């Protein structure tokens, strides 16, 4: 199945109660499949086809506050339109699961893959997971429900899959039995809207209290990171467990850090082209950022290449690189860092491009000493 179909299949097996979404490429197939499941009765859920993504996430918040298991999905402009409501979903502690088929942001309009959409909302207090292929998409969606609804978490979780390269690529996906998924996802009671137990949700807080709300929310998001191991250990398919990061070629001196579908291309390059000097760190959990685990993974590294599929115009570094740099600084580690921006608007890095990048990486890292250098991979057709 494709990445999108894997999402829909996992959501169906999760016994979801409520789905609300609005069509946008390349996410649309997810909701098309889910609508079919709902209309055929394969899943007993309400599908609310709203008039905008803003309303989709708003309806999900309302539904989530009734205690329902809730799912939505979107991409690009749709996610940007949801931006306001994303902060409210996390602030109101709604365990919504959302699939984001990552796509570039306009202008110019572009329907193809990059991570600009989700990176625009990276401070919204959601758990952000990146999947590399349809199998991971399937496994992570199911685990996302368990993590989101954990009584100590109650936070929304977004599972990211690269638009087209993962959302539309068809691969064999090992799925669990329905009953196995059901028993992995128990129903935990949580505060909800009920006449007999009246509560007020979405109050306003003055300077006397707002700060405490936000710091507490950050603490809970950190706690979600700690609980990843617990919820993934219980996942019935041991090969599909959500990890914060995975490593390949651990002995390589130079670590390449990457998220999403391109990780596969980099792994292929290292594996089949004898590039033993390089290791690969495939980051699955972007928020909360797994700094401790990353420092451990980089303990033997002599340099680091960070691949961002988004830019942060005007910032010191793009999103992933800035998190890595801050983590190194916090750990008192001084490593030369090469920040690579690649794949904007669906310009997929080919194997040849990745090999060229790796070829030049060592030279760049050495040339600048213990500092930061930058590269655009694929810009103007090559390495800039």
Partner 1 sequence: MQVSKLLDLYGREGLSPGHSACQGCGATIAVRQVLLAAEPPYIVVSPTGCLEVISTPYPYTAWRVPWVHVAFENAAAVASGIEAALRVLERKGLGRRHKIIVIGGDGGTFDIGLQAISGAFERGHDLLYVCYDNEAYMNTGIQRSAATPIGSVTTTTPAGKRERKKDIVSILVSHGSPYVATASPHLWKDLANKVRKAQSIEGPTFLHIVAPCPRGWYYDSSLTIKIAKLAVETRVFPIYEVENGKYRINYLISRPRPVEEYLRLQSRFAYLLRPENAALLEEFKRWVEERWNQLLKLAAAFPP
Structure tokens at 320: 């992933």
**Rounded Cα–Cα distance for residues 59 and 54 (Å):** 9
- From first CA to last CA, the distance across the chain in angstroms is 36
Least distance (Å) from partner 1 to the CB of residue 65? 6
Least distance (Å) from partner 1 to the CB of residue 64? 8
Q: Match 């979801």 to its residue by tokens.
A: 16
Least distance (Å) from partner 1 to the CB of residue 93? 13
Strand 337-342's sheet: what is its strand order?
A: 245-248, 278-283, 254-258, 303-308, 337-342, 372-377
What is the contact mask toward partner 1 in residues 86 to 125, using x (rule: CB under 8 A)? --x---x---------------------------------
Least distance (Å) from partner 1 to the CB of residue 287? 22
DSSP β-bridge partners for residue 282: 246, 258
Phi-psi region of 139 (alpha: psi -120 to 50; beta: other; left: phi over 0): alpha
Residues contacting residue 357 through CB under 8 Å, at least 6 positions apart: 305, 340, 342, 349, 375, 377, 383
Least distance (Å) from partner 1 to the CB of residue 127? 20
Least distance (Å) from partner 1 to the CB of residue 46? 4
Q: 207 or 369, CB closer to partner 1?
A: 207
What is the contact mask toward partner 1 in residues 15 to 54, using x (rule: CB under 8 A)? --xx-x-----------------------xxx-xxxxx-x
Q: 55 or 246, CB closer to partner 1?
A: 55
Least distance (Å) from partner 1 to the CB of residue 199? 6
Q: Is residue 101 within 8 Å of 167, Cβ to Cβ?
A: yes
Q: 88 or 326, CB closer to partner 1?
A: 88
Q: Is 254 helix (H, G, I), strand (E, B) or coil?
A: strand
| Site residues (CB under 8 A) for partner 1, limited to 195-214 | 195-206, 209
Q: 202 or 274, CB closer to partner 1?
A: 202
Residues contacting residue 214 through CB under 8 Å, at least 6 positions apart: none
Q: 108 or 198, CB closer to partner 1?
A: 198
What is the contact mask toward partner 1 in residues 267 to 306, using x (rule: CB under 8 A)? ----------------------------------------
| Site residues (CB under 8 A) for partner 1, limited to 49-88 | 49-52, 54-56, 58-68, 70, 84-85, 88
Strand 285-287's sheet: what is its strand order?
A: 46-49, 18-21, 70-74, 97-102, 157-162, 127-130, 285-287
Q: Is residue 45 within 8 Å of 18, Cβ to Cβ?
A: yes
Which listed range, 14-22, 104-112, 162-170, 316-324, lies at the site for partner 1 (CB under 8 A)? 14-22
Structure tokens at 18: 């409520």
Least distance (Å) from partner 1 to the CB of residue 196? 7
**Rounded Cα–Cα distance for residues 133 and 2 (Å):** 9
Residues near partner 1, by CB under 8 A: 17-18, 20, 44-46, 48-52, 54-56, 58-68, 70, 84-85, 88, 92, 187, 192-206, 209
């Amino acid at each position: 199945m494709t990445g999108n179909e894997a999402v829909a299949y996992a959501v169906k097996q999760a016994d979801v109660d409520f789905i609300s979404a609005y069509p946008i490429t390349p996410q649309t197939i997810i909701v098309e499949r889910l609508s079919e499941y709902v209309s055929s009765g394969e899943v007993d859920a309400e599908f609310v086809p709203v008039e905008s993504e803003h309303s989709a996430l708003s309806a999900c918040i309302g539904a989530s506050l009734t205690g329902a298991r809730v799912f939505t999905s979107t991409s690009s402009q749709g996610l940007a339109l949801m931006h306001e409501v994303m902060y409210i979903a996390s602030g109101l502690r709604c365990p919504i699961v959302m699939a984001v088929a990552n796509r570039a942001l306009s202008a110019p309009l572009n329907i193809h893959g990059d991570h600009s959409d989700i990176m625009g909302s990276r401070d919204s207090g959601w758990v952000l997971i990146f999947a590399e292929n349809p199998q991971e998409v399937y496994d992570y969606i199911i685990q996302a429900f368990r993590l989101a609804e954990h009584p100590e978490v109650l936070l929304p979780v977004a599972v990211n899959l690269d638009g087209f390269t993962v959302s539309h690529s068809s691969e064999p996906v090992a799925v669990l039995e329905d009953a196995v998924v059901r028993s992995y996802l128990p129903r935990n009671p949580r505060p909800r809207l009920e006449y007999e137990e009246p509560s007020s949700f979405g109050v306003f807080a003055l300077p006397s209290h707002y700060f405490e709300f936000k710091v507490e929310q950050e603490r809970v998001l950190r706690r979600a990171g700690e609980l990843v191991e617990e919820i993934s250990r219980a996942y019935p398919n041991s090969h599909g467990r959500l990890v914060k990061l995975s490593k390949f070629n651990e002995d390589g001196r130079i670590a390449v850090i990457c998220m999403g579908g391109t990780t596969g291309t980099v792994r292929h390059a290292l594996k089949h082209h004898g590039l033993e000097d390089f290791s690969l760190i495939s980051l699955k959990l972007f928020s909360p950022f797994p700094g401790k685990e990353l420092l451990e993974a980089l303990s033997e590294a002599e340099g680091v290449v960070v691949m961002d599929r988004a830019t942060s115009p005007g910032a010191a570094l793009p999103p992933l690189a800035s998190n890595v740099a801050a983590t190194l600084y916090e750990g008192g580690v001084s490593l030369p860092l090469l920040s690579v921006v690649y794949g904007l608007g669906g310009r997929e890095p080919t194997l040849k491009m990745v090999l060229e990048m790796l070829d030049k990486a060592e030279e760049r890292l050495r040339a600048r000493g213990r500092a930061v250098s930058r590269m655009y991979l694929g810009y103007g057709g090559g390495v800039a």
